[in-house]
Amino acid sequence: MLEIYKRYRELGNNLGRLFRELRAKPFVFPDFPPDMDPRHVEALILTKVPGGYTIATRTGLRRMLSNTVYIGWMKNGDDVVRDEHGQPKICHKPIIPEDLFWNVFNRHSPYLPDGSPNPNLQQWRDRASYEPINAMLRYTLESVDPTASRKHSMKHWRGRSSAGQYIFYDPKDELAAGKSYLLASEVDSVYWKLLYRHLKATKNYENYAIAEQQVADTKEREKNEILAQIEACDRIIEKQKKKLVRIGASDDDEHEEVKNDKAKDEAIRILLDAVKEEIVNQLREKKRLEERLNTFLTTDNKYAESMMEWSQLLSGIEEEEDLEKYTTIEERQQLAEVFSVSVTLELLTPRVLCLTVYWRHPEWEAEQAFWLRTAMSAQRWTDEETKRFRVAYATMTPLELLQAFPDRSWSALRHRSWKMGLKPLEMEGPLEEQVCWNDYQYMQEYGVEPGQLTIRHCQRSTNSTVSAFHPKDVG
């Protein structure tokens, strides 16, 4: 590793040239000894080649060279482990001299050690083309932390595109190893079913219009109070600045008369520190008030009138196909924004999904919809899993097999037995063919049936029970 860092500097800090040199070699790292724990080998982001391992992508090289473990920092996933004082914990002696490491890190790491974006990151022209995700919930759908939703989809050079899918990923994971793709039409269809039930049942929006006006009046009063508090902060800051000037002038006059009065000097220093601290506190309070004021200035939209218009326009539409036929994608995106405060998608398991909707109308209770995902990509079997399956296959009952491999469906287990040359498992298993044991547990808990939509009044999340209120309601 040290030679790679040195070579990067010798090449004029050119990552592209370094990557091409490494790719030209038969391998960068030799094979691991046979007694190495296979879990450590599988955790490495390296590409296996004859004789050892290489680095297949420029992103992989950049990610490897920016890893703070090389200077001894302890990490948990992508996060730096810190002590009670906020300093990084050291777990071993640095492998790379810090000057060589930070030379690469400051140029190529997308994030600083504290997790904030790196302002010095060198950017390259992106050869991939992107296109908007044409989906109803493009601007309103959120995902449970730590994932984020991508607003654009990549158009691959072979013509393939993920434009019809929602993409969720960990924003700190450059390789996006845990990306989840969901058919946008499937999620949008669930949202429309929830919305249609309320549109059909609600005929009068006047009460909401009155409540909305009352909220607007309250916000106006609070905005004026905040402006008055900001003015008060400005007056206090100006007063303290004048006090600083007076203390400085007084100190100069008295210094000529009493040059060795240490007690007097100490008292003046303490007074100066107190005045400066008060100025800092007032500036901090002013910043907080200005940020709060900004929320009032940007959340004064009125939705009652738009709701009434949409309700009339959609009166003859019931099926999602008709909605797509008579409205544009931009109108459907506006529709979701008008009626929803928040829409959150949670993957309880890779197949069992939960859509939580906080409605803007105060008489509409927030809801959660649970359903079984229609399709998903297969998960790769690790060597360790394959070995365990071979042993379990000979001794376990079908139900025990599902419990021993809780993320694998009966279909996946049957296919694995055939792939390994074992006698294939029976076509019919203890559970539905595409349902794994973890799916089954959540399906039992929330009453989910294959092909059906289970709707419940909202609990703030699937793990806690609170009122159906969302903090965005108050701005």
Q: Which amino acid is at 424?
A: P
Q: What pLDDT was estimated at residue 461?
A: 42
Residues forming a β-bridge with 30: 52
Is residue 47 located within the same domain as residue 88?
Answer: yes
Residues forming a β-bridge with 359: 340
Total domains present in the chain: 4
Is residue 94 located within the same domain as residue 155?
Answer: no
Which has the closest alpha carbon to 308: 361, 248, 234, 370?
Answer: 361
Is residue 12 located within the same domain as residue 91?
Answer: yes
Report how far Cα 156 is from the mean position of its chain's Cα atoms.
24
Query: Where does a domain end: 73, 108, 143?
Result: 108
Give a yes or no: residue 457 inside a domain: no
* pLDDT 10s digits, 235-274: 998 888 888 888 765 555 555 555 556 777 778 888 888 8
Which has the closest alpha carbon to 141: 307, 327, 336?
Answer: 336
Q: How many residues appear in the chain?
A: 475
Query: Where does a domain end: 298, 319, 353?
Result: 298
What is the average pLDDT across 3-14? Answer: 87
| pTM, full prediction | 0.57
Is residue 103 located within the same domain as residue 6?
Answer: yes
Is residue 219 located within the same domain as residue 253?
Answer: yes
For residues 218, 224, 226 and 232, what is the CA-based torsion angle, rounded to 10 degrees?
-150
pLDDT above 70 as % of the chain: 78
Poorest-confidence range of 1-5, 266-270, 390-394, 415-419? Answer: 266-270
CA dist 94 to 68, 114, 141, Å?
9, 19, 43
340-347/141-143 β-pairing: parallel
* Other residues' Cβ atoms within 10 Å of the Cβ of residue 339: 24
Give a yes or no: residue 354 inside a domain: no
Is residue 236 located within the same domain as residue 285?
Answer: yes
Residues 89, 73: contact at Cβ < 8 Å? Answer: yes
Eight-state DSSP code of residue 366: P
Give a yes or no: residue 163 inside a domain: yes
Which has the closest alpha carbon to 102: 66, 60, 59, 74?
Answer: 66
* pLDDT 10s digits, 92-141: 888 888 888 888 888 888 788 877 777 777 655 444 455 667 788 888 88
Give a yes or no: residue 289 inside a domain: yes
| Beta-strand runs (E) in 104-247 | 129-132, 141-143, 148-149, 152-155, 165-169, 180-183
Q: How does residue 467 score in pLDDT terms, banded at 50, 70 and 90? A: very low
Is residue 86 located within the same domain as residue 147?
Answer: no
Is residue 92 located within the same domain as residue 31?
Answer: yes
CA-CA distance, 151 to 148, in Å (whole number)? 10
| DSSP symbols for 195-234 | HHHHHHH----HHHHHHHHHHHHHHHHHHHHHHHHHHHHH
Give a yes or no: residue 329 inside a domain: no
Strand arrangement, sheet containing 180-183: 148-149, 165-169, 180-183
CA dist 435 to 341, 351, 408, 411, 442, Å?
33, 8, 8, 8, 11
Q: What pLDDT was estimated at residue 125?
A: 45
CA-CA distance, 473 to 391, in Å (whole number)? 55
Is residue 103 located within the same domain as residue 18?
Answer: yes
Eight-state DSSP code of residue 161: B
Domain that residue 210 falls in: 206-298
Q: Which residue has the higher pLDDT, 8 or 264?
A: 8
Give a yes or no: residue 371 inside a domain: no
Is residue 9 located within the same domain as residue 94?
Answer: yes
What is the average pLDDT across 162-178? Answer: 62
Q: What pLDDT was estimated at residue 465?
A: 29
Give a yes or no: residue 326 inside a domain: no
Q: Which residue has the higher pLDDT, 37 or 163?
A: 37
Residues forming a β-bridge with 49: 52
CA-CA distance, 154 to 152, in Å (whole number)? 7
**Positive or negative torsion for Cα 277, 278, 279, 285:** positive
Q: What pLDDT was estimated at residue 297?
A: 62
Give a yes or no: residue 308 inside a domain: no
> How open is the CA angle 145-148-150, to the nearest 5 degrees?
165
H or E, element range at 54: strand 52-54
Q: What is the CATH number of the domain that holds 13?
A: 3.90.1750
Q: Across all residues in the chain, what is the average pLDDT?
A: 78
Q: How deeply is 46 buried, as exposed, middle or buried, from its count of CB atoms within 10 A (0-12, 13-18, 19+)? A: middle
Is residue 8 located within the same domain as residue 102?
Answer: yes
Which has the closest alpha carbon to 8: 169, 399, 19, 357?
Answer: 19
Query: Where does a domain end: 252, 276, 298?
Result: 298
Is residue 231 located within the same domain as residue 264?
Answer: yes
What is the average pLDDT across 12-18? Answer: 86
Poorest-confidence range of 153-162, 191-200, 214-223, 306-315? Answer: 153-162
